[in-house]
Structure 1
Amino acid sequence: MKENIKEIIRSLSETFEGGPWYGKSVMRKLENVPYIIGYKSCVPESHTVAQIVGHLIAWKKFAVEKLKGNNDYSLEIDTNNDWPNIEVHSQKEWEELKRELVATQGEIYELLNEKEDDSFLEEKVDGKDYNFGYLLKGLVQHDIYHIGQIGLIESQLKKKEMDSGVFKS
């Protein structure tokens, strides 16, 4: 049976591109962020929306590699791989970054759909002290956490940029 896998896919999808009860999903939130603020931050030394998207991609890639059985792949917290320095200077670059995020999410769905049953969710993730069920539920929580950050950056920059025409009423 794959009931738990189906529920994880549903949760991942709802948070990523669906209509969660708490507000906008990751992709609905990113649709409203103009590329021109993608490389700006509210406070010096804080992350930009583009960096947050890169960070989401990094952890989704981590999950993909572990789901593929790549035991050599690792991702260390607070490194350049965890928080890539991404700058977006055009609509094309912004769209490419979002496409990479969507593609990585899609790869997670594909790999989960290939699983025979729920038993793999209890398997330990190589190099970690948690199992795949914990990792995948963590991805949902991770997306929700960063949706909040993106929303905060968007609202703060919207106040600063209102007269510039970046945000349309």
Structure 2
Amino acid sequence: MKEKINEFVRSLSEAFEGEPWYGDSVMRKLENLPYEVGYKTCIPESHSVSQIVGHLIAWKKLAIERLKDNEEYSIEIDSEIDWPNIQVHSREEWEALKRKLVAAQGKIYELLNAVEDDSFLSKKVKGKGYDFAYLLRGVIQHDIYHIGQIGLIESQLKKKEIESGVFKT
């Protein structure tokens, strides 16, 4: 039986591209964001939306490697891999970045769909002190956390960019 795994897939999907009760999913938030603000920040020290998307891709890749039992792959916190310096200056670049994010999410679904039964969820992740259920809850929580960041950046930039016409009123 894969009832719990199927529930994780539904929860991952809801946060990523669905209609969660708390507001926009990751992709809905990104689809409604003009590419022109993808590289902008609210304050100089903060991350841009495109950097956050790169960060989401990086951590989805980590989850993919963990799901494939690759204990060698890791991400150093605050490194270039963790927070890539992505600059988006065109609609094409913005769409390509979003496609990479969707592809990473799709790979997670693919790997979970190949799992035979729910016992997988209690299996320890190689080299870690946690199981796959914990890893998957983390992926969901990570998406939700960064939706909030993107929403905050969007609201702050709307105030700054309203005169430029980037955001339609």
**TM-score relative to the length of structure 1:** 0.97
**TM-score relative to the length of structure 2:** 0.97
Superposition RMSD on alpha carbons, in Å? 0.8
Alignment match, 1:41: 41
Q: Distance in 1 between matches of 2:46 and 2:126?
A: 32
1:81 deviates by 0.9
Q: Distance in 2 between matches of 1:29 and 1:155?
A: 12
Unaligned runs of 5+ in 1: none
After TM superposition, what 4+ stretches of structure 1 lie above 6 angstroms from structure 2? none
Aligned residues: 169
**1:118-142 CA distance string (max 9 Å, x none):** 1111122123221111010111111
Aligned ranges for residues 6-155 of structure 1 at < 5 Å? Answer: 6-155=6-155
- Write the letter of the residue equivalent to 2:64: V
Q: Distance in 1 between matches of 2:13 and 2:136?
A: 12
Q: Distance in 2 between matches of 1:46 and 1:73?
A: 27
**1:122-169 CA distance string (max 9 Å, x none):** 122123221111010111111000000000000100110001010112
Unaligned runs of 5+ in 2: none
Q: Distance in 1 between matches of 2:121 and 2:75?
A: 20
Q: Distance in 1 between matches of 2:100 and 2:161?
A: 27
Q: Distance in 2 between matches of 1:129 and 1:71?
A: 12
Q: How many percent identity over aligned positions?
A: 73
Give the secondary structure class of the aligned counterpart of 1:43: coil
- Write the letter of the residue equivalent to 2:97: L
- Write the letter of the residue equivalent to 2:168: K
- Write the letter of the residue equivalent to 1:27: M
- Write the letter of the residue equivalent to 2:82: D
Give the secondary structure class of the aligned counterpart of 1:41: coil
Give the secondary structure class of the aligned counterpart of 2:44: coil
Q: Distance in 2 between matches of 1:114 and 1:160?
A: 46
Q: Distance in 2 between matches of 1:127 and 1:166?
A: 47
Q: Distance in 2 between matches of 1:70 and 1:97?
A: 25
